[in-house]
Amino acid sequence: MNYWLMKTEPDTFSIEDLLNCPQSISMWEGVRNYQARNFMREMKVGDRVMIYHSSCAVPGIAGFAEVCRTAYPDPTAFDPESSYYDPKSSSEKPRWFCVDVQWRFTLDEVIPLSTLKSDPLLSDMLLVKRNRLSVMPVTAAEWKHIQSHYL
């Protein structure tokens, strides 16, 4: 099993919105970064995901989800009406992919980025080191440390 972190802007789509989806499952559409896309294509059903709230009052980990469908072409890239539309992506040659994730758990309080940043054991975490990546792997050690210290 692998561990991941996925960012979302709660004003657009929060972990509560994920909970409220049918079966608490949502397509994770709109990722338009190659590195993030490549990580999504590595995801397996059952992989664990931290849901991270960005661009908000207290950015941080808001809860947990699970991959429930492996990567498939992102339909919003084909939709001219979508803000995620990309004319360079076609169903014959899709450029962007998404996975489905299912809600698992919402934290009572967000684990703030500032807390994670100040933890020496998390100083190598990609979230801390790489500012602008919306989908990224989390190591098993980081995952366990966060589970045992901040939940």
Partner DNA sequence: GCCAACGTTGGC
Instruction: Label residue 124 exposed, middle or buried (CB < 10 Å: 0-12, 13-18, 19+).
Output: exposed
**CA 141, CA 97: separation in Å to the nearest integer?**
28
Beta carbon nearer to DNA, 44 or 130: 130
Q: Is 89 in the site for DNA (CB under 7 A)?
A: no
Residue from 38, 44, 109, 130 binding DNA (CB under 7 A): 130
Structure tokens at 6: 């996925």
End-to-end CA distance of the chain: 20
Return the range that interacts with DNA (CB under 7 A); candidates 28-36, 38-46, 71-79, 98-106.
28-36
Closest approach of DNA to the CB of residue 133, in Å: 6
| Binds DNA (CB under 7 A): choice among 33, 38, 90, 147 | 33
Residue 93 touching DNA (CB under 7 A): no
Q: Beta-carbon neighbour count of residue 89 at 10 Å?
A: 20
Indicate the helix (H) or strand (E) that contains 18. helix 15-19
Q: Could you say whether residue 123 binds DNA (CB under 7 A)?
A: no
Q: 45 CB contacts (<8 Å, ≥6 apart)?
A: 67, 68, 69, 70
Task: Answer yes or no whether residue 113 interacts with DNA by CB under 7 A.
Answer: yes
The stretch among 18-26, 71-79, 109-117, 137-145 that binds DNA (CB under 7 A) is: 109-117
- Nearest to DNA of 46, 84 (CB atom): 84
DSSP letter, residue 124 = T
Binding of residue 12 to DNA (CB under 7 A): no
Residue numbers of the site for DNA (CB under 7 A)? 7, 9, 32-35, 54-56, 59, 88, 113-114, 117, 129-134
